Chains A and B, each alone.
Chain A
């Protein structure tokens, strides 16, 4: 599968529940996370089981879809700004759901897709948007490990490594 995408936004939060802050440049540390982010600092909210959560990604296409509504959830429509969804990287043109176990490049870094992100009720309550949990089921992004660290910036291309 050949594809090419773009990094639209980078967001970090210093701790659980803090508003996300947009970065124009971020430093990714292999095996750890994004400098300044809650999962790098160990101050995030997450289930206790061991997991990869060094950097989280979501497709802007999903945000555009849920802004239109969701047939499975009557009446549901959510306008989620890139700073609201609480994932680190907002992408366009990257087939996140097809990348599990594969490596890809963004900026100077190499990421390895570990598992699909699972939405939590927490974000629904935090943002006060009923139905958001169901609305994000099966498309709430991708959790990745950082294999090669480095700098990334909005506008950087995403390129596949493992086809």
Chain B
């Protein structure tokens, strides 16, 4: 089970609009000069007034702990969190924000690093590029957006990163376009790839990197991958002590476990944050999450969204 994190009341010191319907928010602690440290790839949980929790990557400078910076894209067809933030958040207001957690760390490797970002997926990737640049590491950043006018944080990239390592790809500027298949054809033997973006982009990079060695490809998704549309089936969970927990078709494993008295932390409840992760002892899981690696899928489970067929014995 992932650890709980301290929730801090942070003050919004600035909120500015960026292209692509993105609000960039700077936050500082209400009482303390420094915030908890974070590594590139980290995210924080923002706690909304209705009790919902949303994850946002920290896209600011990890060496400046006087503030955190997040960038929130307004998703009107989403679950309502970003719309509330766009409407309600302004300089001077207070937001409850968790200490950072990192599910998307940069591996400490000598080889070259390839960073791919689609749209608002630039947020964790920008923090990574900054860190690699500061460490003098070899990296390439490819940033894919629909157009220059809709590319969030483009001005920051152009101001702060070495332009010779950054490739910008705009759908509406044919000469800048880049085919993912050819970009990812031949992995150099020691390269590491990190990517983040919307579901279509995630699926395309996933396909194009199927031949990359296990352990060389790292990603973070904002939404779980699209499902096949088959209606959920009931299944059964058993616990270490033998307790049997039936999971009805219209409920989640997380909800059923909680009803059975299992104390499980959860955050996004959408299969992307990994807070409710637990171990599998036996059974056939149907993974629906966007956090577990292929290797982890053999023995880990995300009960807020994943299901199973038959009986699933969990390490709880």
Interface residues of A (CB under 8 A from B): 15, 17-19, 21, 48, 122, 125-128
Contacts and interface: CB of A to CB of B under 8 A. Distances in A.
A157 B5 CA distance: 34
B96 interface: yes
A18 to B, nearest CB: 5
B8 A19 contact: yes
B164 interface: no
A122 B4 contact: yes
A19 B9 contact: yes
**Which 6 pairs from chain A and chain B are nearest by CB?**
A125-B3, A18-B7, A17-B7, A126-B4, A19-B8, A17-B4
Contacts of A126: 3-6
B22 to A, nearest CB: 28
B242 interface: no
Contacts of B7: 15, 17-19
B261 interface: yes
Contacts of B6: 17-19, 126-127
B65 to A, nearest CB: 16
Contacts of B9: 18-19
23 contacts: A15-B7, A17-B4, A17-B5, A17-B6, A17-B7, A17-B98, A18-B6, A18-B7, A18-B8, A18-B9, A18-B96, A19-B7, A19-B8, A19-B9, A122-B4, A125-B3, A125-B4, A126-B3, A126-B4, A126-B5, A126-B6, A127-B6, A128-B3
Contacts of A127: 6
Contacts of B31: 21
Contacts of A125: 3-4
A49 to B, nearest CB: 11
A137 B31 CA distance: 31
A10 B3 CA distance: 26
Given A19-B9, A122-B4, A126-B6, 6 more contacts: A17-B4, A18-B6, A19-B8, A126-B4, A126-B5, A128-B3
Contacts of A21: 31
A130 B300 CA distance: 23
Nearest to B2: A125
A48 B4 contact: no
Nearest to A47: B263
Interface core residue of A17, A18, A122 (most chain B CB under 10 Å): A17
B190 to A, nearest CB: 32
B261 A48 contact: yes
Contacts of A17: 4-7, 98
A18 B172 CA distance: 46
A127 B99 CA distance: 10
Interface in B52-69: none
Contacts of A15: 7
Interface string B1-43: 0011111110000000000000000000001000000000000
Contacts of A128: 3
Nearest to A86: B6
Interface string B238-262: 0000000000000000000000010
A15 B7 CA distance: 9
A137 B6 CA distance: 22
A152 to B, nearest CB: 21
Contacts of B98: 17
Contacts of B3: 125-126, 128
Contacts of A122: 4
A24 to B, nearest CB: 14
A43 B9 CA distance: 16
A94 B9 CA distance: 32
Interface string B142-176: 00000000000000000000000000000000000
Contacts of B8: 18-19
B233 to A, nearest CB: 30
Nearest to A18: B7
A71 B261 CA distance: 36
B47 to A, nearest CB: 9
A21 B7 CA distance: 12
A28 to B, nearest CB: 23
A161 B6 CA distance: 37
Q: Which residue of A19, A127, A128 has the most chain B CB atoms within 10 A of its CB atom?
A: A19
